Amino acid sequence: MDFNGSGLLTLLIFLPLLGAVIISSIIRKDNIVRYFALSIVTIELIISLFIFFSFDKNSTQKFQLIDSINNWISVNSFNVQYLVGIDGLSLPLLLLCSILMFVAVLASWSISSRVSEYFTWLLVLQTAVLGVFCSLDLIMFFLFWELELVPMFFLISIWGAGRKEYSAMKFLLYTLFGSAFLLIGILAIYFSTDTFDMTVLPTLMKSSILILPSTLIFFMFLLGFSIKLPVFPFHTWLPDAHTDAPTAVSVILAGVLLKMGGYGIIRIVITLFEEPSIAFAYIFALLGVVNIIYGALITIQQKDLKRLIAYSSISHMGYVLLGISSIAATNTDQVLLGLTGASMQMFTHGTITGLLFLCVGILYDKTHTRYIPDLGGLSQKMPLLTIAIIVGGLASLGLPSTSGFISELLIFLSAFNVFPIYTIIGVSGIVLTAGYILWMIQRTFFGPINQRFETLSGVNSLQALAMYLLVLSILIVGIYPNIITSVFESGISNIISIPSS
Amino acid sequence: MSINDLLILFPEIMVIVTGLSILIIDLFISNKRILPLVTVLGLFTALLFLIYQMSSGLTIDESSLLNSAIVFDQFGILYKFIITFCSLSIIIGSTGFTKSFNKFSSEFYALMLFSTSGMMFLSSASELIFLYLSIELTTLPLIALSAIHKTSKSTESSLKFLILAAVSSAILLYGIVLLYGLTGTTDIQLISSTLTDLFKNGETKYIPIALIIITLIVTGFGFKISAVPFQMWTPDVYEGAPIPITTFLSVASKTAAFAALIRISTLIFPNLSQDISWGQVIAIISALSMTVGNFSAILQNSFKRMMAYSTIAHAGYLLIGISAISVGVSDLITNSISTMTFYLIGYCLINMTAFISVMCILNTIENDSIKKLSGLGKSSPMIAFCLAISMVALTGLPPTIGFIGKLYLFSVGFDSGFDWLVLIALLNSVIAAYYYLRVVKVMYLETSSKSKVFSVSLMPKITILSLTIFIILFGVIPGPIVDITINAAESISIFR
């Protein structure tokens, strides 16, 4: 049990867990709990920013900041190690998680029932998600992947609204069903190559004989990750869970948890199963387009603001799949472009949808309704919120100079070479997006104001801080996308350079 | 029998002597509060001695006792340790509950101890008649104990238990007799070498009788570990018996039965003809057990019945390990024994936490509907927390020992080529999540109509809290436990 490494990532992953233990066991006063949780996520954000800016994009090492403990579980045939590290692919997602967690804590300030439990689970969730993005050992990855379910189950089912228990259980069972296949896939890889170590697996997989057909393992992983992303027809848990979860949890769910699926596809499916991925790239493209169009068509019909944004997430995750489908391109640059676009889409969707859910949550706190026909003219009462939601909405439909534009552009550019028909259909999704976003904003924030909202007050400074942090990140990435794309590119070029060597 | 032999048998003797002295003390001292104290003291001494035996590396030559009726190996010691630990925890945890049968408390403690000693013998029995006797010594006190409340339900369940235990023992005994007829000995190690001779060079003459032997032994043990299709007594007995006895049945009794089953399936079954694919049969029983157990558990309203079906499902998971033994690769056998042992340790810790938590709340004989737990999250947060952790662990989610146990067990199952079985098991865990987490949901999300304040005494609280700590601790640092189970597994497979 020797610890190697700088310990920075270990600190980043387990600091929230430590915070959760302290909150649940020591702190009694609700207000102190809130400030304590805030200070933990602030430290996390600072560490993440530090890691982000000190990251060496040109390093020859594939993974940086590696912490390891050999032989965490060690049996003669079964060797699991504690191994965490980051590369260009996981780093922006790590940063995304820290930003959204910071926002989530701010957005949870008004939670008044069972405060210490709430923040305990929220911090445990942060540990789990960061762990997923940092794990370089398949079993560790799986452990954090499963760990995330426990806090989510409690957060949705205790602090949610509506059919919260049903939604929480549905979310849990869907994910568990997917992870059953993940575990089979992981074990199949292990018994073919004798290692769980993701740093050496890409090369080992080339040289070893798999005990199950690689296409079968490929589809098992794909199924597991598709449920999380979610991909049609496994998406039905998402609207329920998003709608019934408390605001902050919706932000995390849409912003970070969905990305675990996309991250898994790129990190494991694409990296380890290159041949099946190329052979079945049309499945990615097809499902991607179905997600985009089907998601958008359903979104237009929604009258509940939260459900509307939830379905728009399904549509936007379709772009990620379409970007991934460019793996079939013959030109490596095209592949790089497409995967970078897909990763960018995950990052930008995280900030954009996080912002939209946050705005809707604040709106609901004030108006006690999310039913669009009941709303209207709110821009007069809540100018700050209106500006934020307009920025989020425009970014969501991919307006240039917002971050949404960059990722969609990259995806369409690369996918068009491989699957022109699918891409053309996919591009038309933007029109639908513009439709439902602008229509939603128009019905909710403009037009005549409903009589009962005459006395509505504006947002408070905490809420404004949370919203404008995300607005800022959307604009920064939109105007200077290189800050994120270069990092993604460095990580993805490592992943796709393996076949050529 | 030398003094050294006595030292080796000391834990068992200690437990029996404590049981006897409970009966004697009860005659002279009217204060019942001394009885649990004496019991705990006796069990604790036995536990300490077992730890000493575990750490003192004994060699194999001096290990067989009483004309090799008992084998003295790390495997046996570890299982004795688990059983003694379970029995100790249950007795400490049920101090509040035992007040409800105050009149019979000396019988309760004495019978618990006798049954414990039977299980300890069972886990180190190396001779089939002795093994049979140990099973009887284990079961008979439990039959009496399950009727200790003298309600009609309890009596009925005890009668059912008696009949099925007798039938299953008879079936097992018949298998033993046939095995004796085939090999001329009842010593497990001699049997295994005789069988190797009988079946070498692809001899097929004895295959029919070997098939019957396997069927009978598997059936006999199938009843003991409540695997499908021999499970039907389980829910009724679990429901009718008082909770401490249900707990004891579901953890210690099952552990001991698995100890004997592991020993037999490692030393006897593989030496039968290679043409008999008994592993496949076990695998089918395993798949049936988990599926039937989990699906039936969904429908239950009674906590004890739900846990009974959950026990059946877990027996199914554990049988994956037995199937893995059938593959016959030496490394794999060691691993599957080790993983089953690890899983059993986790299972015992988790089930005891769950049962003792519920016991604290139901301090009386009233019904144990899951609905009764509503609002527990508010009225007694600590017990609710422990129960919630145990449910999460039974589901097999991290960071608990349940997760590591399943991971390790399934990986060994996968390694041995039973990948279809592992897939069934994994899908079953999804089904199981539904009913385990329903308990959590009821505790935290539903508010009870009347706010009850439970006065829980200190000892049960300490017990469940420390068990919960173990569940999480070994979920994060499983290494030391895995090492111990590997040691145990190596000590048994060395005889092959």
Q: Calculate mean pLDDT across residues A390-395.
A: 90
Interval A372-392 mean pLDDT: 85
Asked if A72 is an interface residue toward chain B (Cβ–Cβ < 8 A), one would say yes
Q: How far apart are CA B213 and CA B205, in angstroms?
A: 14
Cβ separation A158–B437 shorter than 8 A:
no
Q: Residue B445: list chain A partners with CB under 8 A.
A: 157-158, 165
- The answer to whether A292 and A322 have CB atoms below 8 angstroms apart is yes
- Quote the crossing angle between the two packed helices A164-193 and A149-159, to the nearest 10°: 180
| C-alpha closest to that of A372 among A302, A457, A458 | A302
To the nearest whole angstrom, how far is the Cα of B420 from the nearest Cα of chain A? Answer: 10
Determine the residue type at A316.
Answer: H
Let me know: does A496 contact A343? Beta carbons within 8 Å.
Answer: no
The size of the A-B interface in CB pairs under 8 A is 94
Bigger pLDDT: B273 vs A213: A213
CA distance A42 to A44: 5
| Residue that is written with structure tokens 């300890």 in the block | B120
Interface of B with A in 312-371 (CB under 8 A): 331-332, 334-335, 338
CA distance B144 to A346: 63
Looking at chain B, how many residues does it have? 496
Residue type at position A281: A
Other residues' Cβ atoms within 10 Å of the Cβ of residue A211: 17
The whole domain housing A76 covers: 3-496
Instruction: Determine whether the interchain pair B433/A74 forms a contact, defined as Cβ–Cβ distance below 8 Å.
Output: no
pLDDT score at B57: 61
Nearest CA to B112 out of B244, B236, B10 is that of B244
pLDDT of residue A48: 92
The residues, any chain, with a CB within 8 Å of residue A47's CB and separated by 6 or more, are: A8, A11, A12, A15, A98
Residue pair A429/A311 in contact by the 8 Å Cβ criterion: no
ipTM: 0.85
Q: Chain A: nearest CA to B427, how far in angstroms? A: 6
Among the partner-chain residues A139, A153, A177, the one whose CB lies closest to the CB of B430 is A177
Q: Which helix (DSSP H) or strand (DSSP E) does residue A70 occupy? A: strand A64-75
Instruction: Report the pLDDT averaged over residues A474-489.
Output: 89
Q: Do B403 and A146 touch (CB under 8 A)?
A: yes
β A64-75/A3-4 pair status: antiparallel
Residues of B in contact with A138 (CB under 8 A): none
Which residues of chain A lie closer than 8 angstroms to B414, CB-CB? Answer: 184, 187-188, 191
pLDDT at A202: 82
Neighbours of B416 (CB within 10 A): 26
- Least confident range from A363-377, A417-431, B168-182, B390-404: namely A363-377
A421 Cβ contact partners less than 8 Å away, ≥ 6 residues apart: none
Say yes or no to pLDDT of A429 above 90.
no
| Total domains present in chain A | 1
Residue A501 lies inside a defined structural domain of this protein: no
Structure tokens at B440: 């959590």
Which residues share a beta bridge with B125?
A: B70
- Cα separation, A151 vs A101, in Å, equals 14
Q: Check residue A460 and give its pLDDT.
A: 84
pLDDT of residue A75: 67
- The C-alpha atoms of residue B409 and residue B397 are separated, in whole angstroms, by 14
CB contact under 8 A, B437 and A153: yes
Residue A76: how many CB atoms within 10 A of its CB? Answer: 11
* Mean pLDDT of the A222-230 span: 90
> Which tens digit of pLDDT belongs to each residue from A53-95?
888 887 777 888 888 887 777 766 677 888 888 888 899 999 9
DSSP structure string for A202-243: HHHHHHS--SS-HHHHHHHHHHHHHHHTT-TTS-THHHHHHH
Q: With CB atoms and an 8 Å threshold, state whether B407 touches A157.
A: no
* 8 Å CB contact between B217 and B264: yes
Q: Is A25 on the interface with B (CB under 8 A)?
A: no
The answer to whether A78 contacts B422, with C-beta atoms less than 8 Å apart, is no
Peptide bond into A230 cis (omega under 30): yes
Task: Give me the pLDDT at residue A30, please.
Answer: 85
Dist CA A210 CA A499 (whole Å): 18
Classify each residue of A22-60 as buried b or exposed e, where b means 16 or more C-beta atoms within 10 Å of its C-beta. bbbeebeeeeebbebbbebbebbbebbeebbeebeeeee
Q: Write out the H or E segment, with its range, that includes residue A3.
A: strand A3-4
* Euclidean distance between CA atoms A118 and A124, whole angstroms: 10
Listed in sequence order, the DSSP H helices in A368-460 are 383-396, 403-418, 420-445
Å from B51 to nearest chain A CA?
Answer: 23
Chain B touched by A143 (CB under 8 Å): yes
Going residue by residue through chain B (496 aa), what tens digit of pLDDT does each one get? 566 777 788 899 999 999 999 999 988 888 778 888 999 999 999 999 999 888 876 554 555 666 778 888 889 899 999 999 999 999 998 887 777 777 788 888 999 999 999 999 999 888 899 999 999 999 999 999 888 877 888 888 889 899 999 999 999 999 999 999 988 888 888 888 888 888 877 777 888 888 899 899 999 999 989 988 888 889 988 888 888 899 999 999 999 999 999 998 888 888 777 777 888 889 999 999 999 999 999 988 888 889 999 999 999 999 999 999 888 788 888 889 999 999 999 999 999 999 998 888 776 546 678 888 887 877 888 888 899 999 999 998 888 999 989 988 998 888 888 889 999 999 998 899 999 988 888 888 777 655 566 667 788 889 999 999 999 999 888 888 888 898 888 888 666 6
Confidence at residue B449, expressed as pLDDT on a 0 to 100 scale: 59
- Residue B110: left (phi > 0), alpha (psi -120 to 50), or beta? alpha
Class of residue A150 by CB neighbours under 10 A (exposed 0-12, middle 13-18, buried 19+):
buried
Judging contacts by C-beta atoms under 8 Å, the chain B residues touching residue A71 are: 479
The Cα A461–Cα A444 span in angstroms is 22
Q: Is A25 left (phi over 0), alpha (psi -120 to 50) or beta?
A: alpha
Contact partners, residue A262, CB within 8 Å, separation at least 6: A225, A229, A317, A320, A324, A342, A343, A346
Residue of B426, B428, B465, B476 to mutate, testing the A interface (most A Cβ within 10 Å of its Cβ): B426
| Helix extents (H) in B125-242 | 128-146, 152-183, 188-198, 207-224, 233-240
> Residue B335 phi/psi, 5° resolution?
-65, -40
Task: Decide if B454 touches A, using CB distance below 8 A.
Answer: no
**Looking at residue B448, what is its pLDDT?**
66
pLDDT at position A45: 93
* From B419, B427, B479, residue closest to A73, measured CB to CB: B479
Q: Do B335 and A77 touch (CB under 8 A)?
A: yes
Inter-chain contact A78–B408, Cβ cutoff 8 Å?
Answer: yes
Per-residue burial over A355-390, b if 16 or more Cβ lie within 10 Å, else e, is bbbbbbbbbeebbebbebeebbbbbebbebbbbbbb
Long-range Cβ pairs for the range B128-134 (8 Å, 24+): B128/B176, B128/B179, B128/B180, B128/B186, B128/B187, B128/B188, B128/B191, B129/B69, B129/B176, B129/B186, B130/B66, B130/B69, B130/B70, B131/B176, B131/B260, B132/B169, B132/B172, B132/B173, B132/B176, B134/B260
- Tell if the CB–CB gap between A173 and B434 is shorter than 8 Å: yes
Question: Which tokens is A274 given?
Answer: 């290159």
φ and ψ at A65, to 5 degrees?
55, 40
Q: What Cα–Cα distance (Å) separates residue A309 from each residue in A130, A313, A353, A394, B89?
A: 24, 6, 7, 13, 52
What tokens were used for A283?
């499945």
**A176 neighbourhood in chain B, CB within 8 Å:** 429-430, 433
User: What are the sequence ranges of the domains in chain B?
Assistant: 277-496
> DSSP secondary-structure letter at A371?
B
Q: In angstroms, how far is the first alpha carbon of chain B from the final one? A: 26
Cβ neighbours of A72 in B, within 8 Å = 479
Please answer yes or no on whether B331 and A188 come within 8 Å at the CB atom: no
Query: Which has the higher per-residue pLDDT, B102 or A178?
Result: A178
Predicted pLDDT at A499: 47
Q: Residue A498 pLDDT > 70, yes or no?
A: no
Residue-by-residue DSSP string for B53-122:
HHHS---SGGGEETTTTEE--HHHHHHHHHHHHHHHHHHHHTTTGGGGGGGGHHHHHHHHHHHHHHHHHH
Q: Which two tokens stand for residue B138?
A: 């284990």
Tally the residues of chain A: 501
